[in-house]
Structure 1
Amino acid sequence: MSRYSIEEFIKQTEQKDKGEGFFELETPRMLEVNLDGQVWAKAGSMVAYHGEMKFVREGILEHGLGTALKKAFTGEGASLMKANGKGKLYLADSGKKIIILNLKNDSIYINGNDLLAFEPSIKWEIKLMKKIAGMLAGGLFNVRFEGTGMIAFTAHYEPITLRVSPGNPIITDPNATVAWSGNLMPSFQTDITLKTFLGRGSGESIQMKFDGDGFVVIQPFEEVYMRAKQSMS
């Protein structure tokens, strides 16, 4: 087989079954879902599928009025869809790296914009960060997951996890914060020095502070989101 031939290209890049189960990383940036039933996924993340599937956008009142109000306030930044059927579903999000976790009666918070997919067996709830709404473009809301099942989220480049321990809080930039353990609830603080140094409009003057015992996942990238007021217009 000659180098750079179409046959060689197909051999190097074609899909291969790895037998990893419900979620399978085809590449670090492409998720294969071996679907036989239902899965929740980020709206717009489907890049291909084969088999019999039906896609349904999340009903605005499906999870109660409280969730609907939160979604309206955040401009539906965490829009979800349900995929029902049987076959192989391929998901991706702007070429971001995909992380898969198998929750076993665990809980975790994930930034709404970084969520990719999860099994319907996991309980979830949108959490709105009211204190910084309107002040900060990123990190306006997140999703808390609890239970047992597979979940996939994304990060720009290579994420790292920082341990949080009592008396040793971790301070992060909300735009670089991807996820954190379900027992932690961050507080928000404004760094006046940074604000003066960077200018009044800089989001880096708003910081997330994590106290307690757990972990925080950060990425080497400050994601810029549409501001709440713009997304509601």
Structure 2
Amino acid sequence: MSRDLAKGARVRLSELTGDSELRLGVTLDAPGVAFDFSVFGLDADERLSDDRYFVFFNQPASPENAIELLSPQDGDQASFRLRLDSVPAQVHRMALTATLDGDGTMAQVSSGHVRLLAGGQEVVRYSFTGTEFSTERAVMLADVYRRAGAWSIVAVGQGFDGGLQALLENYGGEVLEEDPAAAPAPALVPAAPVPVVAAAPAPAAEPASARVSLLKYAELPEQTGWLQQNPQLVRFTLAKNAEVLALQGSMVAYQGEADFSHESSGVLRKLIGNLTGQQLKLMRVRGDGQVFLADGASQLHVVRLEGESLCVGADRILAFDAGLDIEVRRIEGEGLPGGGFHTLQFSGHGTLVVKTSGTPVVLEVTPAPETQVDINALVAWTRGSQVITTAPVRIRRSGVAGRSAETCTLQFRGGPGNFVIVQPYEA
């Protein structure tokens, strides 16, 4: 049974079929209008991976035949065979597009569809009409993309004003027209220029729409659990019985239904009560949708625990799965602000999100020599590491006569597999 997709909807291919050889079929019904269909093999930056991965009528297959243009089949105007097992690692996305060959606009399409077939059977279909477009001369129809080793399909339906040339340049290629003097066209039947892909990008002939200009910032494809949207933003997909604890005020956006409980019970009361002075105030998040979290443009790091234990500075936590085991610990010693500071020890199976000021470094901890870390730069460490408070060190500030400051370092020792995370920042 085929599944219908609305514009913007996506589905994992594993939910539709177990086949790795698939066929994309496409039809656009617009009397008097001709179309060219293409598939772009794009890299992780949404750019043409290689000019050989622009598959169209003049280049009907990629080098290893992972993408292949077929003759029209089963009533479709165009068909492409996709061999997922042969798609090279640098190709993350295969974008199916249509461009007008001659005059007209996409608004003239009375009906259209993209469908995916496995073993000759249709498994998913995206249908649309020209009422979704206006003056566009090209359209991004659908993408088959790879995320975390799994393939999915998304119905895009995004019109593009500039036609084939602007579409190619958007993906990092260029259309070059043949010299008219070298190959004159018949006067009564103008010949359409043959697209040739050039490696170097060129300025777009026509300005792209605002949405197309911002495509590189688009929300990443749907997946369950935690996802790193960008270095300063994470996304959690809420589901039944899934709860997370996050720093109050860290929610920047959410989609669907989400409940944010600023409560002081259970683990929240324990954490807030013990972390006096750390200003760690948490909220419980539950519901059915997607929540985006950030904090002051700090760099965020999604850390997965598989039975391990990690100690994290209380001011370095953004969010964590509610199912993790948590223990509040205090490290005390001479020279530490307030005589000591609190950390959270996370254990079990689950995910936590750690924030840093700048890109951190992970240092291996060994029995000797010991690793010394300024407490202001400390982020986290493995539970198996031995932590020793050292005496404060007085440091004279360069260029400031008579002024000095004290800093306190922590000494870490440990065996194989132990490490400490340090950020490039000192308060």
Which amino acid in structure 2 is aligned with residue 210 of structure 1? F
Which amino acid in structure 1 is aligned with residue 260 of structure 2? F
CA contact (8 A) 2:311 2:346 kept: yes
Q: Tell me the CA shift for residue 14 of structure 1.
A: 2.1
Listed as ranges, the gaps of 5+ residues in structure 2 are 1-161, 163-205
SS in 1 for 2:424: coil
- The two structures have a TM-score, normalised by structure 2, of 0.46
SS in 2 for 1:104: strand
- Please state if 1:6 is matched with 2:6: no
Q: Give the whole-Å Cα distance in 1 for the aligned partners of 2:344 and 2:260.
A: 21
After superposing the two structures, state which structure 1 stretch, 3-12 or 24-33, moved more: 3-12
2:356 is aligned to 155
Which amino acid in structure 1 is aligned with residue 274 of structure 2? K
Q: Which has the higher contact order (CA 8 A, sep 6+)?
A: 1
Assess, with a 3 A threshold, how the Cα gap between structure 1 residues 99 and 64 changes in structure 2: closer, same or farther: closer
CA contact (8 A) 2:252 2:294 kept: yes
Per-residue CA distance 1:153-183 (angstroms, 9 max, x = gap) = 1112211111111122100011111110012
2:267 is aligned to 63
Assess, with a 3 A threshold, how the Cα gap between structure 1 residues 185 and 18 changes in structure 2: closer, same or farther: farther
Q: Tell me the CA shift for residue 215 of structure 1.
A: 0.5
1:17 is aligned to 221
- Please state if 1:145 is matched with 2:349: no
Listed as ranges, the gaps of 5+ residues in structure 1 are 225-233
After superposing the two structures, state which structure 1 stretch, 175-184 or 138-147, moved more: 138-147
Q: Tell me the CA shift for residue 96 of structure 1.
A: 1.4
Q: Tell me the CA shift for residue 209 of structure 1.
A: 0.8
Larger helix fraction of residues: 1
Give the counterpart of 1:177 among 359, 378, 383: 378
Q: Give the whole-Å Cα distance in 1 for the aligned partners of 2:387 and 2:218.
A: 43
Per-residue CA distance 1:35-77 (angstroms, 9 max, x = gap) = 1131111122111101111111241x52398655422xx3252
2:419 is aligned to 215
Give the total of aligned pairs: 215
CA contact (8 A) 2:395 2:406 kept: no
- The percentage of counterpart residues that share the same residue type is 25
Give the counterpart of 1:32 among 201, 210, 235: 235
- Please state if 1:136 is matched with 2:342: no
1:230 is aligned to none
Q: Give the whole-Å Cα distance in 1 for the aligned partners of 2:344 and 2:403.
A: 29
SS in 1 for 2:396: helix
After superposing the two structures, state which structure 1 stretch, 62-71 or 157-166, moved more: 62-71
SS in 1 for 2:216: helix
SS in 2 for 1:40: strand
Q: Tell me the CA shift for residue 132 of structure 1.
A: 5.6
CA contact (8 A) 1:108 1:181 kept: yes
Q: Give the whole-Å Cα distance in 2 for the aligned partners of 1:137 and 1:14.
A: 45
Q: Give the whole-Å Cα distance in 2 for the aligned partners of 1:174 and 1:4.
A: 49
Give the counterpart of 1:197 among 381, 389, 396: 396
- Please state if 1:90 is matched with 2:292: yes
Assess, with a 3 A threshold, how the Cα gap between structure 1 residues 201 and 15 changes in structure 2: closer, same or farther: same
Give the counterpart of 1:112 among 296, 314, 317: 314
CA contact (8 A) 2:278 2:314 kept: no
Q: Tell me the CA shift for residue 128 of structure 1.
A: 2.3
After superposing the two structures, state which structure 1 stretch, 21-30 or 136-145, moved more: 136-145
1:229 is aligned to none
CA contact (8 A) 1:139 1:174 kept: no
Assess, with a 3 A threshold, how the Cα gap between structure 1 residues 24 and 69 changes in structure 2: closer, same or farther: closer
- Please state if 1:52 is matched with 2:257: yes
Q: Tell me the CA shift for residue 8 of structure 1.
A: 2.6
